[in-house]
Structure 1
Amino acid sequence: MLNKILCVDDDPITLMLCRKVITRANFSRHTDSAQNGEDALHYFDNLILQENEEEFPELIFLDLNMPVMGGWEFLDNFSKTYAHFFPNTKVIVLSSTIDPQDVQNAKTYPMVLDFMSKPITMEMLEELKAGYYKE
């Protein structure tokens, strides 16, 4: 079980579903959320200011298409400014469409583990447990 996950999505229903599925699957002890990439970067700014490395999310579920700052902009900023502070934080890109070019672009970021279709499901979490987060 992971200690903390951050879900970044502009849709409140998607965020609620994300929390419910993660809780039901016993995948993480805590689930935080941000409504866009900019909010997520502020979240990480606060973690740096608090100097509490134990509170960092081990995994981010990241939507690509959001207002204010989308997933690609978040990944660019995170990889340049925050990745060295949070080297163990990994990202699962979630999207409602699977564009092969998006999948290729996601592979260029070292922190991205996978690219998956929305919505998050129990099966998806079981796959992640088996592939990346063996207990």
Structure 2
Amino acid sequence: MPRGEPLQKLYEGFVPGRFPIDAYGRGGFRFAEMSHRGSVLALPSGIRAWDVTAPGELTAESLGLVLAEAAEIDFLLIGTGVAPVLLSDAIAWPLRDARIGFDVMATGAAARTFNIMLGERRRVAAALIAVD
């Protein structure tokens, strides 16, 4: 990697590999020795920028990358910002059909739980909406 070039720029919003979330807040996340402003998907293939900014923007389509990696995911943590929200059936059923268990919680709780489950080597993914 060229010196001084941001890791995010090199991967255009994608960092391959499994990494814990080191910090969250101020509109973004810290992981893999980098900072990212905005929401993220932490998947088996890596951590990606995610364009969802509020719970109302959650759709089955916005979770398409999660569903694409369903064979590698047993459980999905969905961080919906400062407070948990109920998922509509239009979102919940595609996850159930893909045999992905899920839980919805505040982003901070989801990030902490993701780290624990990742440390246990569980087949976990996270969809985390950034918080201030």
TM-score range, shorter chain: 0.3 to 0.5
Which structure features the higher share of helix residues? 1
TM-score, normalization: structure 2?
A: 0.39
Compare relative contact order (CA 8 Å, sep 6+) and give the higher one, 1 or 2: 2
